Amino acid sequence: MKRQIGGFLIVVGLMVTTLLTTGETKADKHDKDGQPKQVLSITTGKNPEAVLFDKERNQFFVSLLNFKVKTGGGSIAILDEKGGIKDLNWVGGLNQPKGMVISGNKLYVADLTEFVEIDIPSAKVTNKYSSKEAIFLNDPALGPDGSVYVTDSLTD
């Protein structure tokens, strides 16, 4: 069931991102009953969790939880603008990566109890921010001044 949900979330995320970035109308991406048309589907076996479109590089980042390996089995994949896999393990060694946000040339990833900063051009982890209170970091966002924020679903 978890695998199906992850796949569903990535498909919905890609559909929404495609709609927002292509300039197509709702009618272009919906069937006659008003339901979103499936744009693409990806099967990785690594439990996709979140998808983020990078306008500057015209690609998608996808966080892969990989429930089979609790510590260090997660990764970030890169897909091209049409959803084709460019690199299934662009950055590996993460724990359970979830939400992501881009600020400049940095990709910030909520990775269970750490907030990971990745330099996009070099594909290197440049910093890990941690907190003793962190339990389940989930969804980052950019503030109007460029500050990066992240939620923790289990600590309020």
| pLDDT given for residue 156 in this prediction | 76
At 30 the pLDDT is 80
Q: What confidence tens digit (pLDDT) does each residue in 14-31 have? A: 444 444 445 555 567 788
The residue among 72 and 3 whose pLDDT is bigger is 72
Please report the pLDDT score of residue 48 as a whole number.
92
Q: What is the pLDDT of residue 68?
A: 87
Instruction: Provide the whole-model pTM.
Output: 0.77
pLDDT level of residue 36 (50, 70, 90 thresholds) = confident
Under 8 Å CB-to-CB from 124, ≥6 apart: which residues?
91, 118
CA dihedral for 65, 68, 74, 76, sign (positive or negative)? negative
pLDDT tens-digit profile of 107-118?
Answer: 999 999 999 999
Residue 76, burial from CB neighbour count under 10 angstroms (0-12, 13-18, 19+): buried
Position 54 pLDDT exceeds 90: yes
Looking up tokens 């690199």, which residue turns up?
87
The mean pLDDT of 73-90, rounded to a whole number, is 93
Instruction: Using pLDDT thresholds of 50, 70 and 90, give the confidence band for residue 129.
Output: very high
- Answer whether residue 41 shows pLDDT above 60: yes
Hey, how many other C-beta atoms are within 10 angstroms of the C-beta on 126? 11
| Residue predicted with more confidence, 47 or 25 | 47
